[in-house]
Structure 1
Amino acid sequence: MNIYFLCKRYYTNKDLINDCFGRLYHLPKQLSEQGHIVFVDAFDYRNRTALAVKENEVSFQTIPLRPASLLKTIRQVYLHVKTINPDVIVASGDIYIGLIGLLLARRLRIKFVYDVYDYYPAFRINRFPGLTSLFNYTVRKSSLVTCASESLQRWVKSRLNQHTLLIQNGVDRNVFTVGDRVEARRKLNLALDTEVVGYFGSINPARGPILIEACRLLIEAKPNLRLAFAGRVEGIDFNDTWIKYYGELPQSSVPDLINACDVVVVPYAGDQFNSMSGACKIAEYLACGKPVVATRVSDHAEVFKESPASLCEPVAEDMARVLKSQLEHPEIVPYPSNFDWQSIGQTLNNKLTKLVT
């Protein structure tokens, strides 16, 4: 089977090509390992030069994109897709990418799969009038909609399209593994006699402030508490001396951050976007064998159903309570094998095979 992916190069603040990150890298890789011929075109908003690489028998090509040349670029993509002659098109990453993928599939009279890994209308760039309607239209007309969380899948199924498949965010077990805490702290210059709580991802008004306030509530009783952050910061400030910010780091550096911590956190507020998100962090945390504290949003209650001590309401007071409990009496959820990309890729492969035959 020839499979064509259309997506974007930069997503969740990572680079598809250089970081080999996430579903847009690993799903094509897994399908290639199942014997399919896989091509990936990735729109690139940041660079003016196209890049073509072959990784694990998958052909990745970046497409520089500027608003002034959008129609010309779409035509180039169409001509490229015609030469590939795919059996199915998979589009992922944004509303306009999904619409382009749908139109290409209709033109070629083949099946179209829309990979909705987040609720795209909630993206800041998609808040212009009419874009939510375009998103709904593309979802309705898709042959199959893949969703990164059960909550998002339920929403799609109940409102727009019955043909859905749960494709969660997995983890690369070659990168994220249980590591030596002492060695990790040495690398990061973190004292061994401190209690370290960490969060490593986008830090913004919906993902971070609850955790900062929860730690403030604990710091008097736990003066050796430290909060470790890494990731892109937008819209919030923090300058407390007990917060250690490591900046934006490559994916390869994140396991050391996790392994240096006593407890790691998914500090998501209870807004619409977070309520349907599939956090990449959870699989990474569990692969490193760490106690987790997660707010009770999206699918977190299901993931931690065997460890209710990991869950808190999305308010600082309750997070402080659960953080204290996990620091003093840690509960660790065993890593579930269904977070392996091999397992996720097999699920997608089985569905695509049925879809096109």
Structure 2
Amino acid sequence: MGLKLLFICKRRPMGRDLITGPYGRFFHLPRELAARGHDVELDVLSYRAGEDAEGTIDRVRWQSHSLRPNPVRAWRRLVQRVDAAAPDWIVGCSDTYFGIAAVALARRHGARALVDAYDNYEAYLPWCTPLHALWRRAVAAADLVTVAGPSLATLLGAARPGRAPLVLPMAPDPAGFVLLDRYRSRARLGLAPDGLYAGYSGSIARSRGIEVLFEAFRLAREQRPGLELLLSGRLERGVVLPRGARYLGYVPAALVPVVLNSFDVMVAVNEDSAFGNYSFPIKLYEAMNCGVPVLATRTASTAWMLAGHPELLVPPGDPAALATAIVGACAQGRIVYGGERPDWAANAAALEAALNAPGFSRRAGS
């Protein structure tokens, strides 16, 4: 007999609409659990007006509640949904607020609470200590905590001694991230078929170490003058792109595999920081699935993700080392990476086993 599971999160985690284009752990974990026979509902809160709606995607029933113009009404609707669903588990994901809400709703309705984290959320608002205290209290009180990697498990595990979080790695979306013809991919983007392109996809922000990438690119061009830098993602105000860089904009999800397949090398940069050491850049796995050479700043998180390929890591804050690695990677061509990478089906199987573990009754009060 399947479990009744209610997932709650914001409608646009990572800046992308979860309903019009389902993606990531926020959708694929519910989808895989529904495929395994569980009764799954996804309720999302939107910061935009006029997005009250409901439907079904791949056996996952969903409802969207707009916080504007009346956030109290949206919250009441969510509480009513919990009343009607009577779930065995309430799963809070996407940020601190939904983790806190999941624990509060679960206690109110006699359900179990699961808190999921894919980043160190406290690093987003380091000054907001009252929110951090509520978050840590929710992490400590949750029946189960799931995280994207071991460094995050250690961080959040400090709030719940003897009850280690379950690691559910970030995984590529199941469709699209495969090896495509490089020349056709470049043609779709209006790029030169025989160009030499280093690529970056993600937040183009100083806090991510983007200036190190820019300096590394400048040094690499001294050895390979024809090298260009392709950037896609959100461009932070005030960031000045270096000569030879091209900004592709915020690329629609359907085009991301095409962009990755256009790169000669994909670079993931970050800093050795309270954010970087707990950030697990999924673009690494996506590019590897496309056979694209990858490089990454060595942090606690990327060292774990690329444990089988330590040669792909470069020291943080070292543009000279990164430049040398970029030039070398550009000469490699496509790569067939050994080993297996995470997938959502395996993550769902691990989560299902944890939800059904001895000691967890179907309802917290039963």
How would you bin the TM-score normalised by the shorter chain? over 0.9
Larger mean CA deviation between 155-164 and 254-263 belongs to 155-164
| Structure 1 residues 261 and 353: CA distance shift in structure 2, 3 A | same
In 2, distance between residues paired with 1:260 and 1:168? 26
Question: Which residue in the other structure is 2:283 paired with?
Answer: 281
1:159 deviates by 4.1
Question: Which residue in the other structure is 2:355 paired with?
Answer: 352
Aligned amino acid, residue 153 of structure 2: Q
SS in 1 for 2:249: coil
Aligned amino acid, residue 202 of structure 1: S
SS in 1 for 2:79: helix
Kept in 1, the 8 Å contact 2:93–2:115? The answer is yes
In 2, distance between residues paired with 1:107 and 1:277? 32
Kept in 2, the 8 Å contact 1:206–1:271? The answer is no
Kept in 1, the 8 Å contact 2:272–2:316? The answer is yes
In 1, distance between residues paired with 2:333 and 2:153? 32
Kept in 2, the 8 Å contact 1:307–1:333? The answer is no
Aligned amino acid, residue 148 of structure 1: A
Identity of aligned residues (%): 31
Q: What residue ranges of structure 2 are gaps of 5+ in the alignment?
A: none
1:57-136 alignment, distance < 5 Å: 57-66=59-68, 69-124=70-125, 127-136=127-136
In 1, distance between residues paired with 2:237 and 2:314? 24
In 2, distance between residues paired with 1:301 and 1:5? 30
TM-score normalised per structure 1 = 0.94
SS in 2 for 1:15: coil
Aligned amino acid, residue 277 of structure 2: S
| Structure 1 residues 332 and 305: CA distance shift in structure 2, 3 A | farther
Question: Which residue in the other structure is 1:145 paired with?
Answer: 145
Question: Which residue in the other structure is 1:182 paired with?
Answer: 183
In 2, distance between residues paired with 1:260 and 1:84? 46
1:296 deviates by 0.4
Question: Which residue in the other structure is 2:193 paired with?
Answer: 192
| Structure 1 residues 85 and 335: CA distance shift in structure 2, 3 A | farther
1:248 deviates by 0.8
1:169 deviates by 1.1
Kept in 2, the 8 Å contact 1:289–1:335? The answer is no
SS in 2 for 1:284: helix
Runs of 4+ in 1 over 3 A off after TM superposition: 68-72, 158-161, 329-333, 335-338
Deviations 1:299-338, CA, capped at 9 Å, x for gaps: 2123323322211012222211221222234684626544
1:7 aligns with 2:33: no
SS in 1 for 2:156: helix
Question: Which residue in the other structure is 1:49 paired with?
Answer: 51
In 2, distance between residues paired with 1:48 and 1:296? 43
| Alpha-carbon RMSD | 1.9
Question: Which residue in the other structure is 2:203 paired with?
Answer: 202
